[in-house]
Structure 1
Amino acid sequence: MFVSATYRLVMSCPDRIGIVSAVAGFLAEQGGWIVEASQHADAEQGWFFMRYEIRADSLSFDVDEFRQRFAPIGTRFDADWRITDTAAPKRVVLLVSRLDHCLADLLHRWRSREMQFDIPCVISNHEDLRDFVEWHGIPYHHVPVPKDDKQAAFDEVSRLVDEYRADAVVLARYMQILPPELCVKYAGRVINIHHSFLPSFVGAKPYHKAFERGVKLVGATCHYVTEELDAGPIIEQDVVRVRHDDTAEDLVRLGRDVEKSVLARGLRYHLEDRVLVLGNKTVVFD
Protein backbone atom coordinates (compact mmCIF):
# COMPACT_ATOMS: atom_id res chain seq x y z
CA MET A 1 0.00 0.00 0.00
CA PHE A 2 1.42 3.38 -1.03
CA VAL A 3 1.41 6.12 1.60
CA SER A 4 2.01 9.55 0.08
CA ALA A 5 3.13 11.39 3.19
CA THR A 6 3.90 10.68 6.81
CA TYR A 7 4.80 12.50 9.98
CA ARG A 8 7.87 11.33 11.88
CA LEU A 9 7.87 11.55 15.66
CA VAL A 10 11.37 11.17 17.14
CA MET A 11 11.91 11.33 20.88
CA SER A 12 14.53 10.57 23.51
CA CYS A 13 14.19 10.93 27.27
CA PRO A 14 15.17 9.43 30.63
CA ASP A 15 13.94 5.86 30.67
CA ARG A 16 10.91 5.04 32.82
CA ILE A 17 7.75 2.98 32.79
CA GLY A 18 4.87 4.20 30.65
CA ILE A 19 6.59 6.05 27.80
CA VAL A 20 5.47 3.75 24.99
CA SER A 21 1.98 3.47 26.45
CA ALA A 22 1.61 7.25 26.68
CA VAL A 23 2.85 7.96 23.16
CA ALA A 24 1.02 5.08 21.48
CA GLY A 25 -2.14 5.89 23.44
CA PHE A 26 -1.97 9.53 22.40
CA LEU A 27 -1.59 8.57 18.74
CA ALA A 28 -4.50 6.13 18.98
CA GLU A 29 -6.72 8.79 20.54
CA GLN A 30 -5.91 11.10 17.62
CA GLY A 31 -6.66 8.39 15.07
CA GLY A 32 -2.99 8.13 14.13
CA TRP A 33 -2.06 5.16 11.93
CA ILE A 34 1.50 4.02 12.80
CA VAL A 35 3.30 2.56 9.78
CA GLU A 36 6.73 2.15 11.40
CA ALA A 37 7.82 1.98 15.03
CA SER A 38 11.32 1.69 16.50
CA GLN A 39 12.52 1.97 20.08
CA HIS A 40 15.63 1.32 22.15
CA ALA A 41 16.43 1.48 25.85
CA ASP A 42 20.04 2.17 26.82
CA ALA A 43 20.33 0.42 30.19
CA GLU A 44 23.78 1.82 30.92
CA GLN A 45 22.77 5.43 30.39
CA GLY A 46 19.17 5.00 31.54
CA TRP A 47 17.93 6.63 28.36
CA PHE A 48 15.08 5.75 26.02
CA PHE A 49 14.81 6.38 22.26
CA MET A 50 11.85 6.06 19.91
CA ARG A 51 10.90 6.82 16.33
CA TYR A 52 7.34 6.52 15.03
CA GLU A 53 6.16 7.15 11.49
CA ILE A 54 2.47 8.05 11.19
CA ARG A 55 0.28 8.36 8.12
CA ALA A 56 -0.41 12.06 7.67
CA ASP A 57 -3.85 11.43 6.20
CA SER A 58 -4.91 9.50 9.30
CA LEU A 59 -4.87 12.70 11.36
CA SER A 60 -7.43 15.45 11.10
CA PHE A 61 -4.88 18.23 11.69
CA ASP A 62 -1.60 19.47 10.21
CA VAL A 63 1.93 19.06 11.48
CA ASP A 64 1.92 22.33 13.46
CA GLU A 65 -1.15 21.30 15.43
CA PHE A 66 0.36 17.84 15.85
CA ARG A 67 3.33 19.47 17.59
CA GLN A 68 1.05 21.56 19.80
CA ARG A 69 -1.00 18.55 20.87
CA PHE A 70 2.05 16.41 21.56
CA ALA A 71 3.97 19.05 23.54
CA PRO A 72 2.45 18.13 26.95
CA ILE A 73 3.69 14.55 26.57
CA GLY A 74 7.17 15.78 25.72
CA THR A 75 7.13 17.97 28.83
CA ARG A 76 5.76 15.15 30.98
CA PHE A 77 8.70 12.89 30.13
CA ASP A 78 11.32 15.65 30.02
CA ALA A 79 11.98 14.63 26.44
CA ASP A 80 13.96 15.93 23.51
CA TRP A 81 11.53 15.46 20.62
CA ARG A 82 10.67 16.61 17.13
CA ILE A 83 7.98 15.98 14.54
CA THR A 84 8.80 16.32 10.85
CA ASP A 85 6.67 16.20 7.71
CA THR A 86 7.94 13.98 4.87
CA ALA A 87 6.00 16.10 2.39
CA ALA A 88 8.60 18.84 2.94
CA PRO A 89 12.02 17.54 1.71
CA LYS A 90 14.99 18.66 3.77
CA ARG A 91 17.30 21.25 2.25
CA VAL A 92 20.92 20.07 2.06
CA VAL A 93 23.81 22.39 1.22
CA LEU A 94 26.88 20.54 -0.10
CA LEU A 95 30.44 21.72 0.57
CA VAL A 96 33.17 20.37 -1.71
CA SER A 97 36.75 21.06 -2.73
CA ARG A 98 38.28 19.40 -5.81
CA LEU A 99 37.48 15.70 -5.40
CA ASP A 100 34.12 14.95 -6.99
CA HIS A 101 33.29 11.29 -6.27
CA CYS A 102 31.06 11.93 -3.24
CA LEU A 103 29.49 14.97 -4.87
CA ALA A 104 28.75 13.07 -8.09
CA ASP A 105 27.18 10.21 -6.17
CA LEU A 106 24.89 12.48 -4.17
CA LEU A 107 23.90 14.46 -7.25
CA HIS A 108 22.97 11.22 -9.01
CA ARG A 109 20.86 10.07 -6.05
CA TRP A 110 19.20 13.49 -5.90
CA ARG A 111 18.57 13.72 -9.65
CA SER A 112 17.16 10.18 -9.85
CA ARG A 113 14.98 10.84 -6.78
CA GLU A 114 16.51 7.82 -5.11
CA MET A 115 16.88 10.04 -2.06
CA GLN A 116 14.29 12.68 -1.21
CA PHE A 117 16.03 15.99 -0.50
CA ASP A 118 16.63 19.37 -2.09
CA ILE A 119 20.05 20.86 -2.90
CA PRO A 120 19.63 24.64 -2.84
CA CYS A 121 23.32 25.25 -3.57
CA VAL A 122 26.86 23.89 -3.59
CA ILE A 123 29.70 25.81 -1.92
CA SER A 124 33.34 25.21 -2.81
CA ASN A 125 36.72 26.70 -2.04
CA HIS A 126 37.72 25.99 -5.67
CA GLU A 127 36.20 26.63 -9.09
CA ASP A 128 36.92 23.16 -10.49
CA LEU A 129 33.42 21.68 -10.16
CA ARG A 130 31.34 24.68 -11.21
CA ASP A 131 30.39 23.40 -14.69
CA PHE A 132 29.47 19.98 -13.34
CA VAL A 133 27.22 21.40 -10.62
CA GLU A 134 25.60 24.08 -12.77
CA TRP A 135 24.81 21.44 -15.43
CA HIS A 136 22.45 20.04 -12.79
CA GLY A 137 20.79 23.45 -12.47
CA ILE A 138 22.16 24.04 -8.97
CA PRO A 139 23.73 27.38 -7.90
CA TYR A 140 27.49 27.15 -7.30
CA HIS A 141 29.24 29.52 -4.91
CA HIS A 142 33.01 29.84 -4.99
CA VAL A 143 34.24 30.89 -1.54
CA PRO A 144 38.07 30.77 -1.43
CA VAL A 145 39.62 30.05 1.97
CA PRO A 146 42.93 31.92 2.02
CA LYS A 147 45.31 30.98 4.81
CA ASP A 148 45.60 34.59 5.97
CA ASP A 149 41.84 35.30 6.19
CA LYS A 150 39.89 32.11 6.86
CA GLN A 151 37.45 33.85 9.16
CA ALA A 152 36.00 36.01 6.39
CA ALA A 153 35.59 32.94 4.20
CA PHE A 154 33.72 30.99 6.85
CA ASP A 155 31.58 34.02 7.64
CA GLU A 156 30.50 33.92 4.00
CA VAL A 157 29.87 30.16 4.15
CA SER A 158 27.68 30.69 7.21
CA ARG A 159 25.81 33.50 5.49
CA LEU A 160 25.07 31.29 2.49
CA VAL A 161 23.96 28.36 4.64
CA ASP A 162 21.55 30.67 6.46
CA GLU A 163 20.37 32.38 3.26
CA TYR A 164 19.50 29.04 1.69
CA ARG A 165 17.77 27.88 4.90
CA ALA A 166 19.75 24.66 5.04
CA ASP A 167 18.39 21.87 7.21
CA ALA A 168 21.71 20.04 6.86
CA VAL A 169 25.22 20.69 5.58
CA VAL A 170 27.27 17.88 4.03
CA LEU A 171 31.05 18.07 3.78
CA ALA A 172 31.43 15.92 0.65
CA ARG A 173 35.24 15.79 0.82
CA TYR A 174 35.48 19.47 1.71
CA MET A 175 39.14 19.76 2.58
CA GLN A 176 38.84 22.53 5.14
CA ILE A 177 38.35 22.40 8.92
CA LEU A 178 35.27 24.29 10.06
CA PRO A 179 35.92 26.81 12.86
CA PRO A 180 34.53 25.95 16.32
CA GLU A 181 31.82 28.61 16.15
CA LEU A 182 30.26 27.03 13.06
CA CYS A 183 30.44 23.57 14.63
CA VAL A 184 28.47 24.94 17.59
CA LYS A 185 26.05 26.98 15.48
CA TYR A 186 25.12 24.01 13.30
CA ALA A 187 25.50 21.26 15.89
CA GLY A 188 23.83 18.05 14.77
CA ARG A 189 23.34 19.41 11.26
CA VAL A 190 26.81 19.13 9.68
CA ILE A 191 27.71 15.70 8.30
CA ASN A 192 31.23 14.79 7.24
CA ILE A 193 32.71 11.83 5.38
CA HIS A 194 36.18 10.95 6.67
CA HIS A 195 38.29 8.65 4.54
CA SER A 196 39.26 6.38 7.41
CA PHE A 197 37.66 3.92 9.81
CA LEU A 198 37.71 6.28 12.78
CA PRO A 199 39.16 6.56 15.35
CA SER A 200 42.12 5.18 13.36
CA PHE A 201 44.15 7.50 11.14
CA VAL A 202 42.55 10.86 11.86
CA GLY A 203 43.58 13.98 9.96
CA ALA A 204 45.15 14.20 6.53
CA LYS A 205 46.24 11.35 4.20
CA PRO A 206 44.75 8.48 6.21
CA TYR A 207 45.08 5.99 3.33
CA HIS A 208 48.79 6.60 3.13
CA LYS A 209 49.06 6.19 6.91
CA ALA A 210 47.10 2.96 6.64
CA PHE A 211 49.41 1.74 3.86
CA GLU A 212 52.47 2.46 5.97
CA ARG A 213 50.90 0.60 8.90
CA GLY A 214 50.17 -2.42 6.72
CA VAL A 215 46.49 -2.73 7.58
CA LYS A 216 44.29 -5.37 5.94
CA LEU A 217 41.14 -3.24 6.00
CA VAL A 218 40.52 0.39 5.07
CA GLY A 219 37.24 2.16 5.54
CA ALA A 220 35.28 5.36 5.78
CA THR A 221 33.28 7.06 8.52
CA CYS A 222 30.25 9.31 8.26
CA HIS A 223 29.91 11.43 11.38
CA TYR A 224 28.53 14.66 12.76
CA VAL A 225 31.05 17.50 12.90
CA THR A 226 32.04 18.81 16.32
CA GLU A 227 34.70 21.16 17.61
CA GLU A 228 37.10 18.24 18.05
CA LEU A 229 38.52 17.17 14.68
CA ASP A 230 37.16 13.85 13.36
CA ALA A 231 35.71 12.96 16.75
CA GLY A 232 31.98 13.67 16.40
CA PRO A 233 29.18 11.11 16.86
CA ILE A 234 29.47 8.36 14.25
CA ILE A 235 26.46 7.72 12.00
CA GLU A 236 27.77 5.00 9.67
CA GLN A 237 30.99 3.13 8.82
CA ASP A 238 32.16 0.45 6.42
CA VAL A 239 35.38 -1.22 5.31
CA VAL A 240 36.94 -2.97 2.33
CA ARG A 241 39.67 -5.62 2.44
CA VAL A 242 43.20 -4.74 1.37
CA ARG A 243 45.61 -7.18 -0.31
CA HIS A 244 49.30 -7.41 0.50
CA ASP A 245 50.19 -6.24 -3.01
CA ASP A 246 47.90 -3.20 -3.03
CA THR A 247 49.70 0.12 -3.32
CA ALA A 248 48.84 3.32 -1.47
CA GLU A 249 47.07 4.46 -4.65
CA ASP A 250 45.02 1.23 -4.63
CA LEU A 251 43.92 1.99 -1.07
CA VAL A 252 42.80 5.43 -2.18
CA ARG A 253 40.83 3.94 -5.08
CA LEU A 254 39.21 1.26 -2.93
CA GLY A 255 38.46 3.74 -0.18
CA ARG A 256 36.66 6.18 -2.46
CA ASP A 257 34.06 3.56 -3.32
CA VAL A 258 33.43 3.01 0.39
CA GLU A 259 33.27 6.76 1.05
CA LYS A 260 30.44 7.23 -1.45
CA SER A 261 28.25 4.48 -0.07
CA VAL A 262 28.90 5.33 3.59
CA LEU A 263 28.13 9.01 3.06
CA ALA A 264 24.94 8.21 1.16
CA ARG A 265 23.73 5.83 3.86
CA GLY A 266 24.61 8.23 6.65
CA LEU A 267 22.86 11.12 4.94
CA ARG A 268 19.80 8.96 4.25
CA TYR A 269 19.55 8.00 7.92
CA HIS A 270 19.79 11.67 8.88
CA LEU A 271 17.22 12.79 6.31
CA GLU A 272 14.80 10.09 7.45
CA ASP A 273 15.18 11.14 11.11
CA ARG A 274 16.70 7.78 12.03
CA VAL A 275 19.66 9.15 13.99
CA LEU A 276 19.38 10.07 17.67
CA VAL A 277 22.43 11.39 19.52
CA LEU A 278 23.36 10.83 23.14
CA GLY A 279 26.70 12.37 24.07
CA ASN A 280 29.22 11.11 21.54
CA LYS A 281 27.18 8.04 20.57
CA THR A 282 24.27 7.57 18.21
CA VAL A 283 21.25 5.32 18.00
CA VAL A 284 20.47 4.63 14.34
CA PHE A 285 17.10 3.07 13.58
CA ASP A 286 18.09 1.70 10.17
Structure 2
Amino acid sequence: MEHPSIIFKIVCPDRPGLVSLLTSWISNYGGNIKHSDHHTDQDAGLFLSRIEWNSNNESLNRDEIYKEFEKIADAVNGQFNVNYSDEIPNVAIFVSKQNHCLIDLLWRVRNGELKMKVPLIISNHSHLENIANDFSAKFVHIDTFKTDKTVVEDQFLNLLKEYDIDLVVLAKYMQILSDSFLKKFSSIINIHHSFLPAFKGGQPYHRAWKRGVKLIGATAHYVTEDLDEGPIIEQCTVNVSHRDEVDDLIRKGRDIERIALARAVRLHLNHQVFVYNSKTAVFD
Protein backbone atom coordinates (compact mmCIF):
# COMPACT_ATOMS: atom_id res chain seq x y z
CA MET A 1 0.00 0.00 0.00
CA GLU A 2 1.45 3.36 -1.06
CA HIS A 3 1.91 5.90 1.69
CA PRO A 4 0.48 9.42 1.36
CA SER A 5 2.82 12.11 0.14
CA ILE A 6 4.70 14.10 2.76
CA ILE A 7 4.77 17.86 2.21
CA PHE A 8 7.56 19.73 3.96
CA LYS A 9 7.75 23.53 3.94
CA ILE A 10 10.40 25.71 5.53
CA VAL A 11 11.34 29.39 5.64
CA CYS A 12 14.76 30.24 7.03
CA PRO A 13 17.69 32.63 6.59
CA ASP A 14 19.43 31.91 3.31
CA ARG A 15 22.81 30.20 3.31
CA PRO A 16 24.71 27.79 1.04
CA GLY A 17 23.89 24.08 1.13
CA LEU A 18 20.27 24.24 2.29
CA VAL A 19 18.82 22.29 -0.63
CA SER A 20 21.44 19.58 -0.18
CA LEU A 21 20.74 19.42 3.56
CA LEU A 22 17.01 18.89 3.06
CA THR A 23 17.12 16.51 0.13
CA SER A 24 19.92 14.41 1.61
CA TRP A 25 17.91 13.76 4.77
CA ILE A 26 14.88 12.74 2.69
CA SER A 27 17.02 10.42 0.58
CA ASN A 28 18.63 8.85 3.66
CA TYR A 29 15.15 8.25 5.10
CA GLY A 30 14.23 6.28 1.98
CA GLY A 31 12.25 9.07 0.39
CA ASN A 32 11.48 9.64 -3.28
CA ILE A 33 10.97 13.32 -4.14
CA LYS A 34 7.93 14.12 -6.31
CA HIS A 35 8.16 17.93 -6.33
CA SER A 36 10.93 20.21 -5.13
CA ASP A 37 10.50 24.00 -5.25
CA HIS A 38 12.84 26.60 -3.79
CA HIS A 39 13.08 30.38 -3.78
CA THR A 40 15.49 32.88 -2.35
CA ASP A 41 14.17 36.34 -1.48
CA GLN A 42 17.39 38.29 -1.74
CA ASP A 43 15.97 41.49 -0.25
CA ALA A 44 14.72 39.66 2.83
CA GLY A 45 17.64 37.23 2.93
CA LEU A 46 15.23 34.31 3.21
CA PHE A 47 15.17 30.83 1.70
CA LEU A 48 11.80 29.19 1.03
CA SER A 49 11.43 25.52 0.21
CA ARG A 50 8.56 23.14 -0.46
CA ILE A 51 9.39 19.47 -0.97
CA GLU A 52 6.75 16.82 -1.59
CA TRP A 53 7.94 13.24 -1.30
CA ASN A 54 6.99 9.63 -0.68
CA SER A 55 8.59 7.29 1.80
CA ASN A 56 9.68 3.81 0.74
CA ASN A 57 9.72 2.62 4.34
CA GLU A 58 7.19 -0.06 5.21
CA SER A 59 5.84 2.00 8.09
CA LEU A 60 5.40 5.77 8.14
CA ASN A 61 6.19 7.24 11.53
CA ARG A 62 4.73 10.74 11.42
CA ASP A 63 5.97 11.69 14.88
CA GLU A 64 9.49 10.67 13.97
CA ILE A 65 9.41 12.63 10.73
CA TYR A 66 8.17 15.74 12.52
CA LYS A 67 10.84 15.51 15.21
CA GLU A 68 13.62 15.05 12.64
CA PHE A 69 12.47 18.03 10.59
CA GLU A 70 12.18 20.01 13.82
CA LYS A 71 15.86 19.35 14.46
CA ILE A 72 16.75 20.51 10.96
CA ALA A 73 14.63 23.67 11.32
CA ASP A 74 16.25 24.49 14.66
CA ALA A 75 19.70 24.05 13.12
CA VAL A 76 18.98 26.56 10.34
CA ASN A 77 16.81 28.90 12.47
CA GLY A 78 13.75 28.18 10.34
CA GLN A 79 9.99 27.88 10.63
CA PHE A 80 8.49 24.72 9.15
CA ASN A 81 5.33 22.71 8.53
CA VAL A 82 4.81 19.04 7.76
CA ASN A 83 1.57 17.94 6.11
CA TYR A 84 0.31 14.83 4.36
CA SER A 85 -1.68 14.38 1.16
CA ASP A 86 -4.36 12.32 2.91
CA GLU A 87 -5.33 15.17 5.24
CA ILE A 88 -8.87 16.40 4.53
CA PRO A 89 -9.52 19.64 6.44
CA ASN A 90 -12.90 20.90 7.61
CA VAL A 91 -13.80 24.19 5.95
CA ALA A 92 -16.56 26.62 6.91
CA ILE A 93 -17.95 28.91 4.22
CA PHE A 94 -19.35 32.31 5.17
CA VAL A 95 -21.85 33.87 2.74
CA SER A 96 -24.39 36.67 2.49
CA LYS A 97 -26.89 36.79 -0.41
CA GLN A 98 -24.77 36.07 -3.50
CA ASN A 99 -24.52 32.38 -4.36
CA HIS A 100 -22.05 32.07 -7.24
CA CYS A 101 -18.87 31.47 -5.22
CA LEU A 102 -20.63 29.18 -2.75
CA ILE A 103 -22.13 26.97 -5.47
CA ASP A 104 -18.81 26.83 -7.32
CA LEU A 105 -16.85 25.73 -4.24
CA LEU A 106 -19.41 23.11 -3.23
CA TRP A 107 -19.55 21.73 -6.77
CA ARG A 108 -15.75 21.44 -6.87
CA VAL A 109 -15.77 19.60 -3.53
CA ARG A 110 -18.42 17.18 -4.77
CA ASN A 111 -16.51 16.72 -8.03
CA GLY A 112 -13.28 15.93 -6.19
CA GLU A 113 -11.40 19.02 -7.29
CA LEU A 114 -11.03 20.45 -3.78
CA LYS A 115 -9.87 18.05 -1.08
CA MET A 116 -11.87 19.39 1.83
CA LYS A 117 -15.07 18.83 3.77
CA VAL A 118 -17.68 21.56 4.19
CA PRO A 119 -19.69 20.64 7.29
CA LEU A 120 -20.74 24.23 8.03
CA ILE A 121 -22.09 27.23 6.12
CA ILE A 122 -22.75 30.45 8.03
CA SER A 123 -24.72 33.38 6.67
CA ASN A 124 -26.15 36.69 7.82
CA HIS A 125 -29.13 36.04 5.50
CA SER A 126 -31.36 33.00 5.10
CA HIS A 127 -31.45 33.05 1.29
CA LEU A 128 -28.94 30.27 0.59
CA GLU A 129 -30.12 27.60 3.01
CA ASN A 130 -31.50 25.42 0.21
CA ILE A 131 -28.04 25.26 -1.38
CA ALA A 132 -26.49 24.10 1.88
CA ASN A 133 -29.18 21.44 2.18
CA ASP A 134 -28.47 20.21 -1.35
CA PHE A 135 -24.84 19.63 -0.37
CA SER A 136 -25.57 18.18 3.11
CA ALA A 137 -23.93 21.05 4.98
CA LYS A 138 -25.23 22.54 8.20
CA PHE A 139 -26.62 26.01 7.47
CA VAL A 140 -26.60 28.53 10.31
CA HIS A 141 -28.31 31.88 9.88
CA ILE A 142 -27.14 34.54 12.33
CA ASP A 143 -28.71 37.98 12.03
CA THR A 144 -25.74 40.34 12.19
CA PHE A 145 -27.97 43.40 11.89
CA LYS A 146 -30.01 42.94 15.07
CA THR A 147 -27.39 41.34 17.30
CA ASP A 148 -24.32 42.87 18.90
CA LYS A 149 -21.16 42.12 16.90
CA THR A 150 -19.36 40.64 19.89
CA VAL A 151 -22.22 38.22 20.52
CA VAL A 152 -22.35 37.29 16.84
CA GLU A 153 -18.65 36.58 16.62
CA ASP A 154 -18.71 34.54 19.82
CA GLN A 155 -21.35 32.38 18.13
CA PHE A 156 -19.07 32.08 15.11
CA LEU A 157 -16.16 30.94 17.26
CA ASN A 158 -18.29 28.39 19.10
CA LEU A 159 -19.48 26.93 15.80
CA LEU A 160 -15.97 26.79 14.38
CA LYS A 161 -14.84 24.89 17.46
CA GLU A 162 -17.88 22.58 17.44
CA TYR A 163 -17.31 21.58 13.81
CA ASP A 164 -13.50 21.41 14.19
CA ILE A 165 -12.96 23.95 11.42
CA ASP A 166 -9.46 24.37 10.00
CA LEU A 167 -10.16 27.10 7.44
CA VAL A 168 -12.84 29.73 6.84
CA VAL A 169 -13.63 30.92 3.31
CA LEU A 170 -15.48 34.20 2.90
CA ALA A 171 -17.41 33.49 -0.31
CA LYS A 172 -18.93 36.94 -0.79
CA TYR A 173 -19.58 37.43 2.91
CA MET A 174 -20.30 41.15 2.96
CA GLN A 175 -19.36 41.86 6.57
CA ILE A 176 -16.09 42.89 8.20
CA LEU A 177 -14.70 40.58 10.87
CA SER A 178 -13.35 42.33 13.95
CA ASP A 179 -9.72 42.42 15.02
CA SER A 180 -10.74 40.52 18.14
CA PHE A 181 -12.19 37.67 16.07
CA LEU A 182 -9.12 37.52 13.83
CA LYS A 183 -6.84 37.19 16.86
CA LYS A 184 -8.78 34.06 17.86
CA PHE A 185 -9.21 32.54 14.39
CA SER A 186 -6.92 33.75 11.62
CA SER A 187 -6.96 31.06 8.92
CA ILE A 188 -9.36 32.86 6.57
CA ILE A 189 -9.45 33.38 2.80
CA ASN A 190 -11.53 36.15 1.25
CA ILE A 191 -12.53 36.98 -2.33
CA HIS A 192 -12.54 40.67 -3.17
CA HIS A 193 -14.17 41.91 -6.34
CA SER A 194 -11.33 44.05 -7.63
CA PHE A 195 -7.73 43.74 -8.72
CA LEU A 196 -6.17 44.82 -5.44
CA PRO A 197 -4.71 47.20 -4.47
CA ALA A 198 -7.06 49.08 -6.81
CA PHE A 199 -10.62 49.84 -5.67
CA LYS A 200 -10.50 48.60 -2.10
CA GLY A 201 -13.69 48.60 -0.06
CA GLY A 202 -17.28 48.64 -1.32
CA GLN A 203 -18.75 48.89 -4.83
CA PRO A 204 -15.46 48.45 -6.72
CA TYR A 205 -17.22 47.66 -10.02
CA HIS A 206 -19.19 50.90 -9.86
CA ARG A 207 -16.04 52.87 -9.18
CA ALA A 208 -14.14 51.02 -11.91
CA TRP A 209 -16.91 51.81 -14.41
CA LYS A 210 -16.81 55.50 -13.50
CA ARG A 211 -13.05 55.51 -14.12
CA GLY A 212 -13.52 53.87 -17.51
CA VAL A 213 -11.10 51.04 -16.81
CA LYS A 214 -10.36 48.52 -19.54
CA LEU A 215 -9.56 45.67 -17.18
CA ILE A 216 -11.25 44.45 -14.02
CA GLY A 217 -10.07 41.81 -11.60
CA ALA A 218 -10.78 39.65 -8.59
CA THR A 219 -8.37 38.98 -5.74
CA ALA A 220 -8.30 36.08 -3.30
CA HIS A 221 -6.28 36.88 -0.20
CA TYR A 222 -5.78 35.96 3.41
CA VAL A 223 -7.72 38.11 5.83
CA THR A 224 -5.85 40.40 8.20
CA GLU A 225 -6.83 43.22 10.52
CA ASP A 226 -6.23 45.73 7.70
CA LEU A 227 -9.22 45.69 5.33
CA ASP A 228 -8.36 44.24 1.89
CA GLU A 229 -4.65 44.37 2.73
CA GLY A 230 -4.02 40.68 3.44
CA PRO A 231 -1.38 38.63 1.59
CA ILE A 232 -2.57 37.92 -1.96
CA ILE A 233 -2.88 34.30 -3.06
CA GLU A 234 -4.48 34.54 -6.52
CA GLN A 235 -5.71 37.20 -8.93
CA CYS A 236 -7.69 36.97 -12.18
CA THR A 237 -8.61 39.63 -14.73
CA VAL A 238 -11.00 40.13 -17.64
CA ASN A 239 -11.19 42.84 -20.29
CA VAL A 240 -14.03 45.36 -20.34
CA SER A 241 -14.85 48.10 -22.83
CA HIS A 242 -16.67 51.40 -23.16
CA ARG A 243 -19.76 49.45 -24.23
CA ASP A 244 -20.00 47.70 -20.84
CA GLU A 245 -22.32 49.04 -18.19
CA VAL A 246 -21.97 48.43 -14.46
CA ASP A 247 -24.15 45.31 -14.71
CA ASP A 248 -21.79 43.93 -17.37
CA LEU A 249 -18.81 44.49 -15.12
CA ILE A 250 -20.60 42.71 -12.27
CA ARG A 251 -21.54 39.80 -14.56
CA LYS A 252 -18.00 39.42 -15.87
CA GLY A 253 -16.65 39.86 -12.37
CA ARG A 254 -18.65 36.94 -11.01
CA ASP A 255 -16.86 34.60 -13.41
CA ILE A 256 -13.38 35.61 -12.33
CA GLU A 257 -14.37 35.76 -8.66
CA ARG A 258 -15.26 32.07 -8.81
CA ILE A 259 -12.04 31.14 -10.54
CA ALA A 260 -9.74 33.21 -8.32
CA LEU A 261 -11.33 31.92 -5.11
CA ALA A 262 -11.30 28.27 -6.18
CA ARG A 263 -7.66 28.52 -7.23
CA ALA A 264 -6.68 30.17 -3.96
CA VAL A 265 -8.45 27.57 -1.86
CA ARG A 266 -6.85 24.75 -3.84
CA LEU A 267 -3.38 26.27 -3.44
CA HIS A 268 -3.94 26.60 0.29
CA LEU A 269 -5.20 23.03 0.62
CA ASN A 270 -2.18 21.76 -1.31
CA HIS A 271 0.17 23.70 0.98
CA GLN A 272 1.61 25.63 -1.94
CA VAL A 273 1.43 29.08 -0.35
CA PHE A 274 4.13 30.71 1.78
CA VAL A 275 3.17 33.78 3.79
CA TYR A 276 6.01 36.00 4.94
CA ASN A 277 6.65 39.73 5.32
CA SER A 278 2.98 40.51 4.54
CA LYS A 279 3.16 38.86 1.13
CA THR A 280 3.12 35.41 -0.39
CA ALA A 281 5.21 33.12 -2.51
CA VAL A 282 3.06 30.61 -4.38
CA PHE A 283 4.66 27.41 -5.67
CA ASP A 284 2.17 26.37 -8.34
1:57–1:88 CA distance, 2 compared to 1 (3 A): farther
Instruction: Tell me how far 1:61 sits from its aligned partner.
Output: 2.6
How far apart, CA to CA, are the structure 1 residues paired with 2:146 and 2:10? 42
How far apart, CA to CA, are the structure 2 residues paired with 1:113 and 1:71? 33
Alignment counterpart, residue 200 of structure 1, candidates 198, 201, 208: 198
AA partner of residue 220 (structure 1): A
AA partner of residue 66 (structure 1): I
Instruction: Tell me how far 1:176 sits from its aligned partner.
Output: 0.5
Moved more, 266-275 or 137-146: 137-146
SS of structure 1 residue aligned to 2:53: strand
AA partner of residue 15 (structure 1): D
Residue in structure 2 matched with residue 88 of structure 1 by the alignment = 87
Residue in structure 2 matched with residue 55 of structure 1 by the alignment = 54
* 1:236 lines up with 2:206 in the alignment: no
Moved more, 114-123 or 223-232: 114-123
Runs (4 or more) in structure 1 with deviation over 4 Å come to: 56-59
How far apart, CA to CA, are the structure 1 residues paired with 2:164 and 2:63? 19
Alignment counterpart, residue 271 of structure 2, candidates 267, 270, 273: 273
Residue in structure 2 matched with residue 109 of structure 1 by the alignment = 108
Q: Deviations over 1:192-247 (max 9, x none)?
A: 00000001111111000100111000100000000000000000101100011100
Structure 2's unaligned 5+ residue stretches are none
SS of structure 1 residue aligned to 2:119: coil
AA partner of residue 195 (structure 2): F
Q: How does 1:205-284 map to 2 (within 5 A)?
A: 205-284=203-282
* 1:285 lines up with 2:280 in the alignment: no
1:211–1:4 CA distance, 2 compared to 1 (3 A): farther
AA partner of residue 193 (structure 1): I
1:61–1:4 CA distance, 2 compared to 1 (3 A): closer
Instruction: Tell me how far 1:5 sits from its aligned partner.
Output: 2.1
How far apart, CA to CA, are the structure 1 residues paired with 2:252 and 2:189? 22
Moved more, 217-226 or 112-121: 112-121
How far apart, CA to CA, are the structure 2 residues paired with 1:282 and 1:182? 23
Instruction: Tell me how far 1:147 sits from its aligned partner.
Output: 5.6
Instruction: Tell me how far 1:20 sits from its aligned partner.
Output: 1.1
AA partner of residue 251 (structure 1): L
AA partner of residue 32 (structure 1): G
Q: How does 1:24-63 map to 2 (within 5 A)?
A: 24-56=23-55, 58=57, 60-63=59-62
Query: TM-score scaled by structure 1?
Result: 0.96
SS of structure 2 residue aligned to 1:119: strand
Moved more, 36-45 or 48-57: 48-57
Q: Verify the 8 A CA contact 2:10 2:78 in the aligned structure 1.
A: yes
Q: Verify the 8 A CA contact 1:30 1:59 in the aligned structure 2.
A: no
SS of structure 2 residue aligned to 1:176: coil
How far apart, CA to CA, are the structure 1 residues paired with 2:55 and 2:120? 29
Q: Verify the 8 A CA contact 1:63 1:83 in the aligned structure 2.
A: no
Q: Verify the 8 A CA contact 2:194 2:219 in the aligned structure 1.
A: yes
1:257–1:37 CA distance, 2 compared to 1 (3 A): same
Structure 1's unaligned 5+ residue stretches are none
The RMSD of aligned alpha carbons is 1.5
Instruction: Tell me how far 1:186 sits from its aligned partner.
Output: 2.7
State how many pairs are aligned: 284
Moved more, 134-143 or 195-204: 134-143
Residue in structure 2 matched with residue 159 of structure 1 by the alignment = 158
Q: Determine what percentage of the aligned residue pairs are the same residue.
A: 42
Residue in structure 1 matched with residue 128 of structure 2 by the alignment = 129
Q: Deviations over 1:43-75 (max 9, x none)?
A: 111001010111155463332221012210011
Instruction: Tell me how far 1:4 sits from its aligned partner.
Output: 6.4
Query: TM-score scaled by structure 2?
Result: 0.96
How far apart, CA to CA, are the structure 2 residues paired with 1:59 and 1:10? 24
1:158–1:97 CA distance, 2 compared to 1 (3 A): same
